[in-house]
């Protein structure tokens, strides 16, 4: 918004000079040229300094900086209107442009402050101004022409400001959407990493069991009995179940896969999985959750199982 304001101020200074030259050459009005030129030059110098300052900083201007910039415009307009008829100047409605720009970019309190400054400036001009000299036979027509030019100029500036503001708003929404998408992707990767670590931990026991069974069969002279083969099948099935679950989460995304489960059912299922992992674990359940429901994230079962598994390791008795 600051860059747009600076660009519009360059345009305003150029139009001021064109208007002063036209009034001097075509209408022959006797205006306080020195004061008007000094005001215009000072405004141009301020704009050049602002342009250099904000380009050097290369960061988004604060709301205070924008408010100060608009306040300078209000003061500059007040000085120009003071030397050109005050409230009788057909361009006095240009006071509305800084307020409109503030309303599109600032919060209520700064906008109210700028509006108050503008209102006080307008009120001051009611009794403090240098009257415009009369142009014989064309005062009213000249005033109407000035109002027409003012309408065209104000409309063009408003379209430019609002168009730029909407473009900035769309760009901001696009960036927010990108950040949100990146955050979801990062959360998904983190969740999948957590699930992968938990799955690897759960796979360790059945794979170790399979390795021990194979070593026993290799060393034994007799073929494996039916119980050993059944145990091997159970361990292989557990490995397949864990791998399929992880693959499904990788396909569909770990984020957003939460489900509503009964609290008791969820706890019993985790205990059953713990018994597969630690057949000798003795877990006692105290109390009941009744009909209570839980929102179960994909990583929650593994977290609870790991917690109970660590408790079994640390406990000498019942968990």
Q: 50-81, pLDDT tens digit by residue?
A: 888 888 876 667 888 889 999 999 999 999 98
For residues 94 and 150, the answer to whether their CB atoms sit within 8 Å is yes
Greater confidence (283 vs 242) lies with: 283
pLDDT score at 117: 94
Please report, for the chain, the start and end positions of each structural domain, with discontinuous segments joined by +.
Answer: 2-133, 190-314
The confidence score (pLDDT) of residue 221 equals 61
> Per-residue pLDDT averaged across 135-140, rounded?
52
First and final C-alpha spacing in the chain = 64
Query: How confident is the model over 302-315, as pLDDT tens digits?
Result: 778 778 878 877 77
Banded model confidence at residue 42, pLDDT cuts 50, 70, 90? very high
pLDDT at residue 182 is higher than 70: yes
Lowest-pLDDT choice from 122-126, 145-149, 173-177, 236-240: 145-149
Q: What is the model's pLDDT at position 57?
A: 76
Which one has a higher pLDDT value, 145 or 17?
Answer: 17
| Residues written for the chain | 319
Task: In whole angstroms, give the CA distance from residue 202 to residue 277.
Answer: 7
* DSSP, res 31: -
**pLDDT for residue 136 is more than 60:** no
Residue 284: which of 274, 276, 293, 294 has the closest Cα?
274
Residues 6+ away with beta carbon under 8 Å from 85: 129, 130, 131, 132
- Half-sphere exposure of residue 84, counting CA atoms within 13 Å on the CB side? 23
Give dist(CA 264, CA 294) in Å, integer: 9
Q: Which residue has the higher pLDDT, 3 or 137?
A: 3
Residue 80 burial (CB < 10 Å; 0-12/13-18/19+)? Answer: buried
- Residue 49, classed as helix, strand or coil, is helix
In this prediction, residue 140 carries a pLDDT of: 56
Q: Is the pLDDT of residue 268 over 80?
A: yes
User: Residue 223: which of 193, 280, 290, 232 has the closest Cα?
Assistant: 232
**What is the structure's pLDDT at 5?**
83
Q: Is the pTM of this model over 0.85?
A: no
| pLDDT given at position 60 | 65
- What confidence score (pLDDT) does residue 72 get? 93
H or E stretch covering 59:
none
Q: How confident is the model at residue 209 (pLDDT cuts 50, 70, 90)?
A: confident
Closest CA to 67 of 16, 108, 120: 108
Q: What is the pLDDT confidence band of residue 121, given thresholds at 50, 70 and 90?
A: very high
The more confidently predicted of residues 245 and 175 is 175
Q: Is the pLDDT of residue 226 over 90?
A: no
Q: What is the mean pLDDT of residues 167-182?
A: 83
């Amino acid at each position: 918004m600051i860059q747009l304001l600076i660009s519009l101020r360059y345009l305003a200074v150029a139009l001021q000079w064109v208007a002063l030259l036209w009034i001097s050459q075509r209408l022959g009005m006797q205006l306080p040229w020195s004061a008007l030129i000094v005001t215009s030059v000072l405004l141009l110098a301020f704009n050049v300094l602002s342009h250099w300052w904000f380009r050097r900083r290369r960061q988004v201007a604060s709301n205070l900086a924008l408010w100060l910039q608009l306040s300078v415009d209000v003061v500059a307009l007040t000085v120009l209107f003071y030397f050109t008829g005050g409230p009788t100047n057909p361009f006095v409605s240009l006071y509305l442009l800084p307020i409109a720009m503030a309303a599109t970019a600032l919060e209520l309190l700064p906008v109210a402050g700028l509006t108050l400054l503008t209102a006080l400036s307008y009120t001051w001009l009611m009794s403090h101004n240098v009257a415009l000299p009369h142009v014989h036979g064309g005062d009213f027509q000249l005033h109407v022409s000035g109002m027409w030019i003012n309408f065209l100029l104000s409309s063009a500036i408003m379209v430019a400001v609002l168009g730029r503001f909407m473009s900035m708003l769309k760009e901001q929404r696009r960036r927010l959407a990108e950040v949100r998408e990146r955050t979801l992707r990062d959360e998904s990767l983190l969740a999948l990493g957590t699930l992968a670590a938990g799955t690897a931990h759960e796979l360790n026991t059945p794979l170790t069991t399979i390795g021990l069974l194979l070593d026993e069969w290799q060393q034994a002279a007799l073929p494996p009995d039916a119980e050993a083969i059944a145990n091997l099948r159970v361990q292989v099935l557990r490995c397949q179940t864990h791998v399929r679950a992880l693959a499904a989460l990788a396909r569909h995304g770990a984020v957003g896969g939460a489900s509503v489960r009964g609290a008791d059912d969820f706890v019993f299922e985790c205990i059953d999985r713990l018994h597969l992992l630690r057949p000798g674990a003795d877990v006692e359940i105290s109390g009941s959750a009744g009909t209570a429901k839980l929102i179960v994230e994909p990583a929650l079962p593994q977290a609870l199982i790991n917690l109970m598994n660590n408790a079994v390791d640390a406990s000498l008795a019942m968990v």
